[in-house]
Amino acid sequence: MPKRPNKDAAELIPDRPTISSVRDAAKNCQACDLYKRGTQTVFGEGARKARLMLVGEQPGDAEDLAGQPFVGPAGKLLDRALVEAGIDRAAVYVTNVVKHFKWEPRGKRRIHKKPSAGEIAACRPWLDTEIALVKPRAIVCLGATAAQSLLGRQFKVTAHRGELIASTLAPIMLATVHPSSILRAPDDETRRTEMKRSTDALRKVARALEKS
Ligand code: SF4
């Protein structure tokens, strides 16, 4: 069996981690093959002691090029939802369960490809460290990949979207759809409805945070 060339991500985490030292360490991660495909590691960013952490699936095309999470079209939609929910994005920490962009070519475009269970597991030490350092009071999972990664593989966003869920990871936990799925809605009316549901979910988290 060929020797596995890549280190586990956990081995790269510094002894006394801070968000910036962990972000630096993640730049050199080769714990799964996605480092070969993406332009760069896209680590989480935001307030170091944010009370709210948003977790998506993986960076997209724009994020891969910018090196920042949620800066593309889905990020802009998320920004709008946060504004409508009265949440200041600068006070939030945003990240993804997988830190490299997985894609496949279609003509000249790079099309998002869902990360595998192995890639999600390989990347998990980075997310666990972000959660341990930021210690958010609330975590919102954006989409099924994030929700199943943090809440278990049986978790269904379609069944529990917008509900407050018990978790050991944070006192307040909720899952909603990924903003990219709202962008893919088949028509304007569906898009408006989906956006309202996501904004309502964020409002619910904001209210729970106020009380906590
Ligand atoms: S996706 Fe995660 S585990 Fe894989 S190389 Fe990138 S940072 Fe490392």
Per-residue pLDDT tens digits of the chain, which is 212 residues long = 444 556 899 999 999 999 999 999 999 999 999 999 999 999 999 999 999 999 999 999 999 999 999 999 999 999 999 999 999 999 999 999 999 999 999 999 999 999 999 999 999 999 999 999 999 999 999 999 999 999 999 999 999 999 999 999 999 999 999 999 999 999 999 999 999 999 999 999 999 999 98
> What does the alpha-carbon distance between residue 209 and residue 81 come to, in Å, rounded to a whole number?
17
Q: Specify whether the backbone of 122 is left (phi greater than 0), alpha (psi in -120 to 50) or beta.
A: alpha
Ligand 1, atom nearest to 58 Cα: 1
**CB 195 near ligand 1, within 6 Å:** no
Quick one: pLDDT at residue 3?
A: 47
Q: Which atom, in ligand 1's list, is nearest to the CA of 119?
A: 4
CA 103 to ligand 1 center in whole angstroms: 14
Decide: 97 in ligand 1 pocket, CB within 6 A: no
CB 77 near ligand 1, within 6 Å: no
> 194 alpha carbon to ligand 1 midpoint, in Å?
31
The verdict on the CB of residue 26 being under 6 Å from ligand 1 is yes
Sheet containing strand 52-56, strands side by side: 45-46, 92-96, 52-56, 138-142, 172-176
State the pLDDT at residue 212.
Answer: 87
Q: Which helix (H) or strand (E) holds 196?
A: helix 188-211
Q: Residue 194 and residue 196: Cα distance in Å, rounded? A: 5
CB 158 within 8 A of CB 72: no
Please name the residue whose Cα sits nearest to atom 4 of ligand 1.
32
Name the residue at shortest CA distance from atom 3 of ligand 1: 123
Nearest CA to ligand 1 atom 2: 123
Q: Is 98 in the pocket of ligand 1 (CB under 6 A)?
A: yes
The C-alpha angle 88, 40, 179, rounded to 5 degrees, equals: 40
